[in-house]
Amino acid sequence: MAGKKYDVKDLRLADGGRKRILWAGQDMPVLERVKERFQKEKPLRGMRFSACLHVTAETANLVQTLKAGGADVLLCASNPLSTQDDVAASLVKHDKVPVFAIKGEDNKSYYSHLRAALDHKPVITMDDGADLVSMLHTDYTDLASNLVASMEETTTGVIRLRALERDGALRIPVIAVNDAATKHLFDNRYGTGQSTIDGVIRATDMLIAGKRVVVAGYGWCGKGVASRARGMGAKVIVTEVDAIRALEAAMDGLEVMTMKEAARIGDLFITLTGDMHVIAEDHLKAMKDGAVICNSGHFDIEIDLKALKKLSSKVEKNVRNFVDAYVFPGGKRIYLIGEGRLVNLAAAEGHPASVMDMSFATQALASEWAVKNHAKLTAKVYEVPTDVENWVAKLKLSSMGIRIDSLSKEQQHYLSSWSHGT
């Protein structure tokens, strides 16, 4: 990308993208409050940001907030299929933000866009899956000494970064935005739950009611998907490797079994584990004709795509938009949505703005906290401060017209004392 100021599909899409950004912004009141304060105080003045995120209308509102705070922001895509091309064009044309993102970009373009982000010489990075930070630790190590912090907003990314920390290889401070309650309890559960089902329905026009929907993984994302599928009348089956989560699913009234068992009876399979080959070759062999498989984890590794191709005598591309049919010898068909990439962004529009409001407000405020405290930050993974989370939650409640109680002095004293007994 040397010499390029941006790389988007078509700037002529910009006006449509602007409308989409404005529409999303109407449903992001918390982020708007942050933006208003940032506009006045400029807490990010002079800070170069490189953000590797899903390029959506909601993300655009975050970028505008960072700019309002004085930041010099560059944006690239965190997934080859998650970009909204009109939004990317609008950010370039109307907000003068360099964007490197095209929906459907190949691997070569994807990694060249990551390099463009690091060539920006950021002092703060924002990551969705830790691809940017991973490249920084291998090919751009010279940037580490000047990096204030990186914000990571996915479970997958936090796992990768904690592994780096355990190995003593982490070079920079990282804020685990994903682990904030104002992010994972809502974004992961309600956002992923709704947007994943939305992606499946848009891609297939499937009636969920009556289907056996196999949900691989019962973390917050899996819980959200299982809840939404069940609410639409599906017979939900959960597969897990964690005994406590499996027990939780069982006590939530869901069927729990191994993927080997589920493979034979499932109609729709959705993976949300963050691990590789959750649907493996043996499972694909066992699936019935017409089974639909998709992934809502960050990387396209949860379904063994090489095995799927090996087992197929032919592949019929785009039998519907974002749906490929893998035809086995004998005629059995398995339908793959979105090339095994994030189904909610590949085949739909990602999370609703209302839930991303909290995630991105937390992201913006965590960045401000890192800037204010950078002198004492070391190369480790930090949690989002609780006062940031509480502020976001209270403001969200206020925007919903909800008031809650507060503790009296007497109650505060009781809760902090040990002398009161039976």
CATH number of the domain at 39, please: 3.40.50.1480
What HEC string does 284-327 produce? HHHCCCCEEEEECCCCCCCECHHHHHHHCCEEEEEEECCEEEEE
Out of 346, 363, 383, pick the residue that ends a domain: 346
148 and 97 in a common domain: yes
361 and 280 in a common domain: no
170 and 213 in a common domain: no
Q: How far is CA 23 from CA 17, 66, 69, 118, 330, in A?
A: 10, 19, 22, 31, 49
365 and 260 in a common domain: no
43 and 150 in a common domain: yes
In a domain, 3, yes or no: no
pLDDT at position 418: 87
Query: Tokens representing 310?
Result: 């090996």
273 and 168 in a common domain: no
In a domain, 415, yes or no: no
Q: How far is CA 58 from CA 18, 34, 68, 350, 384, in A?
A: 11, 14, 16, 9, 21
Q: How far is CA 234 from CA 75, 213, 355, in A?
A: 38, 6, 24
253 and 234 in a common domain: yes
207 and 155 in a common domain: no
Rounded to whole angstroms, how far apart are CA atoms 150 and 38?
19
pLDDT at position 421: 72
In a domain, 411, yes or no: no
**Residue 310 lies in domain:** 192-346
Out of 308, 324, 346, pick the residue that ends a domain: 346
148 and 177 in a common domain: yes
Cα-to-chain-centroid distance, residue 416: 38
The domain total for the chain is 2
Query: Tokens representing 35?
Result: 């933006």
Rounded to whole angstroms, how far apart are CA atoms 214 and 297?
14
pLDDT at position 107: 93
Residue ranges of the chain with per-residue pLDDT less than 50: none
Nearest Cα neighbor of 31 from 358, 406, 386 is: 358
pLDDT at position 234: 98
158 and 26 in a common domain: yes
